[in-house]
């Protein structure tokens, strides 16, 4: 039991949809099992398209959603058996989330450092605001920012990239063992994206934090993850070492995904297109009244 950080056992989640009489059940996650080893930090990418159940799975790991069947055990604690405030705090001390939209991650009416200080005070028993502020500054330095830049600022005064860094710093302040990041860079501008992605690697190597990276983007998943898990319609269709799976996908769906990746280079320079008019000139519809 103790050698697993996260043990997901045959977890399913169904949602009921529809009217009162004709209820249909939608299986969002179907009997998914996965493990993360303790003391062996790694980045695991969960890859899937919309409707694959990847976000629902991530939400179940974060205890934001209860599974319909199956069991989730985090660091020896069964999530279903967790009751009371103290247990919830202990859980959040171990697992922290990073969300997709950095502009939505913080209350627009509040200053961002509020969340950083709060996290520090609640989870690590920091004695007083001033000790917490020192820790906050240190965490911000780890993500390439400082309390001087961020202190007193409201979310709209920071860029998307900066906010996502603050979100990561906030997660770090709880000193978690696992970070679950749901599409953390899909809304980050291209020129800033790689520095955030690289940051995850630093967290794994220097702070020993395991990361579950939920994404639809195979290229960044290949770039940072150690292991990947491909999901389709709620089920895991292929999983394993990131490089092996993505270089030589075995499941037809993985192959299909792999082939749909638009390479950032022009395969064969297209000849200057000469429009083939065939009597159909632009601006002149085929038939006129």
Q: In what order do the strands lie in the sheet with 95-98?
A: 95-98, 178-182, 210-215, 43-47, 227-232, 235-241
Q: Does 237 interact with other proteins (rule: CB under 8 A)?
A: no
Report d(CA 96, CA 89) in Å as an integer. Answer: 11
From residue 10, give the alpha-carbon distance in Å to each of 16, 64, 69, 210: 20, 18, 7, 21
Measured distance CA(186)–CA(267) in Å, rounded: 25
| Per-residue contact flags (x/-) with other proteins for residues 20 to 59, judged by CB under 8 A | -----------------------------xx---------
Rounded Cα–Cα distance for residues 232 and 216 (Å): 11
We find the least distance from the C-beta atom of residue 192 to other proteins, in angstroms, to be 5
| Footprint (CB under 8 A) of other proteins, residues 109-138 | 109-110, 115, 118-119, 121-123
Beta pairing class for 43-47 and 210-215: parallel
Q: How far is the CB of 3 from other proteins (least distance, A)?
A: 26
Site for other proteins in 152-181 (CB under 8 A): 159-162, 167, 170-171, 174
141 contacts other proteins (rule: CB under 8 A): no
Count the site residues for other proteins by CB under 8 A: 81
Strands (E), 75-182: 77-78, 95-98, 178-182
| Contact between 140 and other proteins per CB under 8 A | no
For the CB of residue 208, give the shortest distance to other proteins in the complex, in Å. 20
State which of positions 78-97 bind other proteins (CB under 8 A).
Answer: 85, 89, 92, 96-97
Which residues 189-218 are close enough to bind other proteins by CB under 8 A?
A: 189-198, 216, 218
Query: Taking each helix axis from N to C terminus, what angle separates 160-173 and 128-142, rounded to the nearest 10 degrees?
Result: 130
Which lies closer to other proteins via its Cβ, residue 35 or residue 77? 77
Nearer to other proteins, 62 or 236 (CB): 62
Stretch that binds other proteins, among 11-19, 73-81, 206-214, 268-276 (CB under 8 A): 268-276
**Structural element, H or E, at residue 256:** helix 252-260
Rounded to whole angstroms, how far apart are CA atoms 88 and 92? 6
Q: Out of 12, 100, 225, 254, which residue is the one contacting other proteins (CB under 8 A)?
A: 100
| Surface-to-core class of residue 52, CB atoms within 10 Å of its CB (0-12 exposed, 13-18 middle, 19+ buried) | buried
13 binds other proteins (CB under 8 A): no
């Amino acid at each position: 039991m103790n050698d697993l950080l996260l043990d997901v056992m045959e977890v399913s989640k169904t949602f009921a949809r529809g009217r009162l009489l004709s209820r249909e059940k939608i299986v969002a996650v179907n009997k998914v099992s996965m493990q993360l080893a303790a003391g062996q930090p790694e980045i695991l990418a969960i890859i899937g398209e919309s409707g694959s159940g990847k976000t629902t799975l991530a939400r179940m790991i974060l205890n934001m959603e209860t599974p319909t069947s199956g069991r989730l055990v985090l660091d020896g604690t069964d999530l279903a058996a967790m009751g009371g405030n103290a247990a919830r705090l202990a859980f959040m001390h171990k697992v922290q989330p990073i969300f997709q939209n950095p502009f939505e991650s913080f209350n627009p009416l509040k200053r961002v450092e509020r969340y950083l200080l709060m996290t520090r005070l609640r989870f690590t028993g920091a004695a007083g605001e001033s000790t917490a502020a020192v820790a906050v500054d240190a965490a911000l330095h780890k993500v390439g920012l400082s309390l001087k830049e961020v202190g007193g600022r409201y979310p709209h005064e920071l860029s998307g990239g900066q906010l996502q860094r603050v979100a990561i710093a906030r997660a770090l302040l709880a000193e978690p063992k696992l970070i679950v990041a749901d599409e953390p860079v899909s809304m980050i501008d291209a020129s800033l994206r790689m520095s955030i992605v690289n940051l995850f690697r630093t967290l794994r190597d220097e702070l020993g934090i395991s990361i579950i990276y939920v994404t639809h983007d195979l290229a960044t998943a290949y770039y940072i993850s150690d292991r990947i898990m491909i999901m389709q319609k709620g089920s895991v269709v292929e999983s394993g070492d990131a490089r092996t799976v993505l270089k030589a996908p075995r499941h037809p769906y993985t192959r299909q995904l792999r082939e749909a990746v638009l390479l950032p280079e022009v395969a064969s320079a297209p000849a200057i297109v000469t429009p083939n008019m065939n009597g159909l000139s632009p601006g002149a519809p085929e038939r006129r009244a």
